[in-house]
Structures are given as structure tokens and as C-alpha cells.
């Protein structure tokens, strides 16, 4: 059947409309696809590039080099040494335990170390590297590198580890570092990301802890490329961190070394302080310990030796120890009475060997008594009865006020651990602490540094410095941070009458140089360095009436822990004070025979360019002193300064 022209025209129009519709739809689809491709390929290019790179690129923190700690002259005290270690990353390793088992056939890994590593791996994010072992030797380090393809996620690294080249001599000042613990993180709202790195080390005690923010520095970053199984292929780029600040202490390493050797095996403490600005020149606690043992992981056997030692080597006796100051406290009682006006420079007291108060008898150390004594002689010969008498007149509150003015019963802020406040008691303190009234016997005991009075060697050194200068000298340990000097404010005056202060200083001069001075045998012979001081002997046991009647047992015949503490404080040169010193020898016996010679040697070393000259000692002692000094030289460092790296 033939189509009519009209039918053909209608069909053509219908086809054209469908074609146009289909073409429009196709064009719209192409436009939409093109737009989407443009969006994905151009506008979202950076995001998809990042997603793609995350599949092959890891970003890791680079721990910064820890700041160095040096003495006042730049000698190294705490530094960094090269350390070969191996780390494992969970997201790259897959079966961590299986990889560790393979690794244990290459380097020695104990079951305890493996368990600790697995615990660290589970505790941290999958991408955080966990240290498996450090301080590897070169052979073990090389074996790991060679066997790398069989150890996915395992990376040998070269880093820095803390080291203490002078070991025992600065352990109590500097302290040591150790891995971050959960306790370290407590209370930190936004902890430094570095602290999340497993086994990252921070300061645990001493200056390492209290100057942590300065010493730690800021982390760097590195981008590394890994293959499909997580093996590191190459480092793409690195941004180095900012090293920690270098710290210079006020300590003179040579003086510190000398004093540490001089204390020997005694359970003792010695503080040498510059009276002009408060710089601590030496602050020594004996016996000491090797802080490197803690950095490297101390064994239980070594730790037990330290904790079970009766001389307590882990305790910093210079700031933690609180001791009855004994007769070194007598300057406090004297100044309190003089300032209050209850005595003057001409006051005399008769000492028959005891003082009776109520039903009690308080004895002088000299059984037969000293006769009639004034201020200067009471200090020179350490008459107890003089201070029993004047203390009752001035009262404990005035004595306590003077004690605090001279630095006792006050916590001196230093970057050191567990600094004691000591105890400078008064009536209110006893009522609050013991719920009891203060008694006259308490005042009598306190007048000679016994009873409730307690002071640290640091506080005693501050007291000596303030008596020497009449100024409120404050101790300091940090000399500079990152090359910037820490400013030292001019010490304020204590407000004490200069003539009264000179009278007390004169009595201390007679202690060392007077014919009957208790420390005359420990005097300095060099006229340019003459010393003023005060000895002290603090009882640690009660002496019964029966024992006094039959004769007090000498310290030499008592068990070590029942012997008296020996103390000494002093300053030199007496006419122009530069250094103050305080010494406490636990259970050492007499202050004049044990503590005073140590104080003299320490202050002589501070005043000298090197080992003190024999001419500084009394002529009749030089043979013995020469032998002692030769022995000390064998225990001192050779003067070399081990190199250390911050790179």
C-alpha cells in the first residue's frame, strides 16, 4: 500500500522529535559526566591525591635532641650518645607476635621484653612505632638491616640516648630520665605528642624532671614511602625538630668532684654556696649512685643494693634530709635574744655544767661546766647553758622568727626533688600539730638545735650565708638557659643590727681560730682565707641519768645508727665572705672532729684554683693532709670532657 505524502511527512516529524529528545538526553548525560569528572579531577584532586598517598606514605614524629646540662664553666654533666635501636609498627607488621618471634632469632629478646613490647603495641595507635630493643651493638643492628625483607614493620634506627659521663658525682642534682608512664600523663589536658611515643624518655627526678619543659625540645616529622606489605622504601622529606635548650648550672664540676671524693663512704651531705649571689657551687650527697643504670634499665639486683643500703644512696640528703642542727643553731638563739634586747654584748651567764628548770636538769656537753661566759666565748666553746638561759628570756616565738629570717623552716625553691621545709617550731605549731601547749623544756631543747627543730644541709648553708652577709641570700642552681643568663636580684638586707651581727661573726671566728675554739684543729692557716664557723653535735638517742652518772658511752663504742650526727657551718674569708659551707655527717660523732675538717677542705677547694695548697693547713697537719690529698686525686676525673652530641 503506497504511503501518501502526508503520512510520510508525519512520520519524518515523529522521527525527528525522538531523535532530538534522545540527543538531548545524551547531551545532558555527557554534560553531567563531564561536570562530575571535572569536580573529581580538578576540584577534589588534592583530597584524592592525599587519600591515595595515605595508602603508601606514613608521617612519623622525630624526637628532638634533648638539651645538654653543663656546669658553670661548660663541662658536660648530662649529654646524649648515639644509640642503635629497633622499632616495630603494628599497621605495617600485620601479625606482630609472629614478626617478633622471627626477630628473636636474630637478636636476643627476653620473654619479658617481648611481653612489654606487645603491651606497648596494643596500647598505642597502629601507626606509632614501638621500641623493641635499644643500645644494640653494630653486629645486631646490621643483622636486622640485612634481614629486613623477612621482618615487615621492623625498622632499625639510629637515635640519641641520655648519658651521664660524670655518673655518681651529679646523680642527686641532675637525676635521670626514664620512659613516660601513665602517672606522668595524669593531669595533662593536652600532652605533648612526643609523650605518646612508646618508651620516650623524660626526666624522672632532679633537674632532669623540673627543667623538663626546657630540655625536651619540639618534635620534627618525616614522610616515608612504604610498599604494599608496609616495608619502608624511602624517606620523602624531613622537617627537623627543635632541640631542647642547653642548661648551665651554677655548680663548679671540679669542686663538686672534690667534695664527693672527700666525703668518701660516709653517709653525709655538704653544700658550698656563693654568699654574694646564692650560687650553689657544690651540693653533694653521699653515697651516690650511677644514674646511667636507670636510663639503661636497672636490674632488680642493682636496685635492691641501692634500696637496702643503710646509708640510703638514693636519697638526696642535701635537700631531703632534715636533721636536728645541734649547736650550729646557737647563732639563731643569740641573734634572737640580742635583737629582742633581752641580752646585750656584755651579758654573762654562769655555767656549772647544767641548768635546772622545774624538776628537770638540762646538761651542758662539758660535765664540769664553763664557768662564767659571755656571747663570744659561748660560741667559741659551745656552752649549752648560756643558750638555755637566754632562750627562756627571749621565748620560742622570737627564736622561731629569727630562724625563719635566716632561712630555716623555709622551703627554698630549686629544680630538685623532694625539698624539705624542715621544721622551725613555735607555740602555735605545737598546738596545731600535737594538740599540746608549748613548755619551757621545749624552748630549752630548741635553743641548742634539738627537740622539734629540724633543718636540711641546704638550709644550714643559707643560714651561714645570711649570718656572713646580713642579707637575704637565696640559693639558686640554674645559671643560664639556652645561653641566656638567669638574672640575680640584689639580696635585700635582713634588717639586723650590724654591731650585733659582727659580735656573732666574731664568736664564729673564735670557734675556728681561738685558743679554746671547738674547731681550732680544723682552722685554715692561710691569713688570706681565715675561716669562721660553728660546730654541732646532734643527739639521736636519749641519755639516761644513770648513764650520765656512770659516764656517757662514747660514739666509738656505740652501734653506727646510735651515734650522734656531726655538723658544721662556716664561711670564708672571715673578713670578706665569699663562700659558705654546711656539712652533715650522719652518725659521724663529733662535729669538731668529723664535720669541720670536711667543711674546711670543701671551702678551701672553692677558694683555690685547684687542689688546696698544703700551706693553707696548719704546719703540724701537713704530712697527714698531703697523704689525704694524694688519695683524693686518685678518685678525681682526669679533667677530660667527654664529647656528646645534639645532632
What DSSP character marks residue 246? P
CA-to-CA separations, 345 to 22, 34, 95, 284, 349, in angstroms, rounded = 122, 106, 85, 37, 12
The pLDDT score that the predictor gives to residue 469 is 97
Which grid cell is 164?
Answer: 651521664
DSSP three-state, residue 140? helix
Residue 45: inside a domain, yes or no? no
Of the pLDDT bands very low, low, confident and very high (cuts 50, 70, 90), residue 55 is low
Residue 44: inside a domain, yes or no? no
DSSP characters over 444-460? HHHHTT-TT-BB-HHHH
Total domains, the chain: 2
Q: Which of 233, 272, 255, 232 is nearest to 93 (CA)?
A: 232
Of 200, 227, 249, the one marking the end of a domain is 249
Q: Is the pLDDT of residue 498 over 50?
A: yes
554 as an active site residue: the answer is no
Q: Is the pLDDT of residue 594 over 80?
A: yes
The backbone torsions φ and ψ at residue 446, rounded to the nearest 5 degrees and listed phi first, read -65, -30
Of the pLDDT bands very low, low, confident and very high (cuts 50, 70, 90), residue 230 is low
509: CB partners within 8 A, 6+ apart: 530, 532, 574
The rounded mean pLDDT for the chain is 86
The backbone torsions φ and ψ at residue 579, rounded to the nearest 5 degrees and listed phi first, read -130, 145
Of 249, 266, 297, the one marking the end of a domain is 249
Regarding whether 206 and 77 lie in a shared domain, the answer is: yes
* CATH code, domain carrying 200: 3.90.1310.10
* CATH code, domain carrying 419: 3.40.710.10
Residue range 297-342, pLDDT digits in tens: 787 888 899 999 989 999 999 999 999 999 999 999 999 999 999 9
Find the distance separating the first CA and the last CA of the chain, reported in whole Å. Answer: 100
Residue 13: inside a domain, yes or no? no
Regarding whether 265 and 218 lie in a shared domain, the answer is: no
CA 75 to CA 634: how far, in whole Å? 20
Regarding whether 222 and 277 lie in a shared domain, the answer is: no
Q: Please, what is the angle between helix 457-469 and helix 498-513, to 10°?
A: 120
Q: Is the pLDDT of residue 407 over 50?
A: yes
Regarding whether 511 and 616 lie in a shared domain, the answer is: yes
Residue 642: inside a domain, yes or no? no
Query: Mean of the pLDDT values across residues 625-643?
Result: 75
> For residue 481, how far is the Cα from the chain centroid?
16
Q: Is the pLDDT of residue 540 over 60?
A: yes
The pLDDT score that the predictor gives to residue 248 is 97
Regarding whether 203 and 119 lie in a shared domain, the answer is: yes
The pLDDT score that the predictor gives to residue 642 is 40
Query: Mean of the pLDDT values across residues 163-169?
Result: 89
Query: Mean of the pLDDT values across residues 191-218?
Result: 86
300: CB partners within 8 A, 6+ apart: none
Residue range 123-149, pLDDT digits in tens: 777 767 777 877 777 787 787 888 777
The pLDDT score that the predictor gives to residue 639 is 45
Regarding whether 218 and 136 lie in a shared domain, the answer is: yes
DSSP three-state, residue 44? coil
The pLDDT score that the predictor gives to residue 638 is 62
State the CB neighbour count (10 A cutoff) for residue 190.
5
The pLDDT score that the predictor gives to residue 136 is 79
Regarding whether 611 and 529 lie in a shared domain, the answer is: yes
Of 204, 219, 249, the one marking the end of a domain is 249
- In contact, 62 and 220? CB cutoff 8 Å: yes
Regarding whether 614 and 568 lie in a shared domain, the answer is: yes
What DSSP character marks residue 155? E
CA 191 to CA 635: how far, in whole Å? 43
Regarding whether 575 and 485 lie in a shared domain, the answer is: yes
477: CB partners within 8 A, 6+ apart: 173, 207, 249, 250, 251, 280, 283, 414, 415, 416
CA 313 to CA 604: how far, in whole Å? 26
The pLDDT score that the predictor gives to residue 17 is 67
Regarding whether 257 and 231 lie in a shared domain, the answer is: no
Regarding whether 242 and 336 lie in a shared domain, the answer is: no
Stated pTM of the model: 0.83
- In contact, 319 and 419? CB cutoff 8 Å: yes
- In contact, 60 and 129? CB cutoff 8 Å: yes
Regarding whether 227 and 277 lie in a shared domain, the answer is: no
State the CB neighbour count (10 A cutoff) for residue 230.
17
Q: Is the pLDDT of residue 181 over 90?
A: no
Q: Is the pLDDT of residue 250 over 90?
A: yes
* Full residue range of the structural domain in which residue 490 is found: 253-306+314-633
Residue 2: inside a domain, yes or no? no
The pLDDT score that the predictor gives to residue 30 is 77
Of the pLDDT bands very low, low, confident and very high (cuts 50, 70, 90), residue 190 is confident
Residue 472: inside a domain, yes or no? yes
**Facing residues of 279 across strands?**
476
The pLDDT score that the predictor gives to residue 254 is 95
Which of 163, 285, 288, 327 does the annotation list as catalytic? 327
Amino acid at each position: 500500500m503506497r504511503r501518501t505524502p502526508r503520512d510520510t511527512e508525519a512520520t519524518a516529524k515523529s522521527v525527528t522529535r525522538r531523535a532530538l529528545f534522545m540527543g538531548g538526553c545524551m547531551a545532558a548525560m555527557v554534560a553531567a559526566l563531564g561536570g562530575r569528572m571535572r569536580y573529581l579531577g580538578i576540584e577534589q584532586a588534592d583530597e584524592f591525591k592525599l587519600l591515595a598517598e595515605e595508602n603508601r606514605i606514613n608521617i612519623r614524629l622525630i624526637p628532638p635532641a634533648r638539651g645538654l646540662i653543663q656546669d658553670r664553666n661548660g663541662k658536660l654533666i648530662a649529654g646524649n650518645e648515639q644509640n642503635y635501636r629497633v622499632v616495630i609498627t603494628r599497621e605495617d607488621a600485620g601479625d606482630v607476635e609472629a614478626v617478633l618471634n622471627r626477630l628473636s632469632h636474630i637478636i636476643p629478646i627476653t620473654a619479658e621484653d617481648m611481653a612489654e613490647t606487645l603491651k606497648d603495641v596494643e596500647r598505642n595507635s597502629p601507626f606509632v612505632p614501638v621500641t623493641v630493643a635499644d643500645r644494640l651493638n653494630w653486629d645486631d643492628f646490621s643483622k636486622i638491616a640485612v634481614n629486613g625483607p623477612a621482618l615487615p614493620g621492623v625498622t632499625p634506627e639510629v637515635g640519641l640516648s641520655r648519658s651521664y659521663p660524670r655518673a655518681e658525682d651529679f646523680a642527686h642534682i641532675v637525676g635521670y630520665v626514664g620512659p613516660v608512664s601513665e602517672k606522668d600523663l595524669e593531669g595533662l589536658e593536652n600532652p605533648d605528642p612526643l609523650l605518646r611515643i612508646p618508651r620516650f624518655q623524660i626526666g624522672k627526678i632532679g633537674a632532669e624532671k623540673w627543667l623538663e619543659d626546657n630540655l625536651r625540645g619540639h618534635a620534627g616529622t618525616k614522610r616515608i614511602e612504604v610498599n604494599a606489605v608496609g616495608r619502608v622504601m624511602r624517606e620523602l622529606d624531613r622537617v627537623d625538630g627543635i632541640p631542647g635548650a642547653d642548661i648551665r648550672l651554677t655548680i663548679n664540676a671540679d669542686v663538686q668532684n672534690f667534695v664527693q671524693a672527700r666525703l668518701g663512704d660516709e653517709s653525709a651531705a655538704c653544700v658550698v654556696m656563693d654568699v654574694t649571689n646564692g650560687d650553689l657551687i657544690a651540693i653533694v650527697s653521699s653515697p651516690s649512685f650511677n644514674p646511667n643504670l636507670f636510663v639503661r634499665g636497672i636490674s632488680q639486683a642493682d636496685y635492691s643494693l641501692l634500696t637496702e643500703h643503710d646509708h640510703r644512696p638514693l636519697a638526696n640528703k642535701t635537700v631531703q634530709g632534715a636533721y636536728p642542727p645541734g649547736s650550729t643553731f646557737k647563732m639563731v638563739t643569740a641573734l634572737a635574744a640580742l635583737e629582742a634586747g633581752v641580752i646585750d654584748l656584755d651579758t654573762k651567764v654562769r655555767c656549772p655544767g647544767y641548768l635546772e628548770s622545774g624538776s628537770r636538769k638540762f646538761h651542758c656537753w662539758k660535765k664540769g661546766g664553763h664557768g662564767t661566759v659571755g656571747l663570744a666565748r659561748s660560741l667559741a666553746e659551745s656552752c649549752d647553758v648560756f643558750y638555755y638561759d637566754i632562750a627562756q628570756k627571749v621565748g620560742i616565738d622570737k627564736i622561731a622568727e629569727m630562724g625563719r629570717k635566716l632561712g630555716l623552716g623555709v622551703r627554698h625553691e630549686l629544680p630538685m626533688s623532694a625539698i624539705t621545709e624542715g621544721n622551725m617550731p613555735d607555740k602555735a605549731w605545737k598546738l596545731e600539730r600535737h594538740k599540746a601547749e608549748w613548755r619551757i623544756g621545749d624552748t630549752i631543747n630548741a635553743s641548742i638545735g634539738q627537740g622539734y627543730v629540724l633543718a636540711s644541709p641546704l638550709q644550714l648553708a643559707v643560714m651561714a650565708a645570711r649570718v656572713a652577709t646580713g642579707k637575704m641570700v637565696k640559693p639558686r642552681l640554674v645559671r643560664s638557659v639556652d645561653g641566656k643568663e638567669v638574672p640575680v636580684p640584689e639580696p635585700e638586707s635582713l634588717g639586723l643590727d650590724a654591731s650585733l651581727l659582727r659580735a656573732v661573726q666574731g664568736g664564729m671566728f673564735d670557734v675556728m681560730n681561738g685558743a679554746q675554739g671547738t674547731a681550732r684543729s680544723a682552722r685554715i692557716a692561710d691569713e688570706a682565707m681565715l675561716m669562721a664557723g660553728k660546730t654541732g653535735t646532734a643527739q639521736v638517742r636519749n641519755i639516761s641519768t644513770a648513764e650520765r652518772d656512770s659516764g656517757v658511752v662514747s660514739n666509738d663504742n656505740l652501734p653506727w645508727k646510735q651515734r650522734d650526727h656531726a655538723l658544721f657551718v662556716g664561711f670564708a674569708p672571715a673578713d670578706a665572705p665569699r663562700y659558705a659551707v654546711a656539712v652533715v655527717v650522719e652518725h659521724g660523732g663529733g662535729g669538731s672532729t668529723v664535720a669541720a675538717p670536711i667543711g674546711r677542705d670543701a671551702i678551701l677547694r672553692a677558694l683555690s684554683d685547684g687542689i688546696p695548697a698544703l700551706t693553707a693547713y696548719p704546719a703540724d697537719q701537713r704530712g697527714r693532709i698531703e697523704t689525704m690529698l694524694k688519695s683524693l686525686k686518685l678518685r678525681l676525673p682526669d679533667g677530660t670532657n667527654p664529647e656528646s652530641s645534639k645532632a
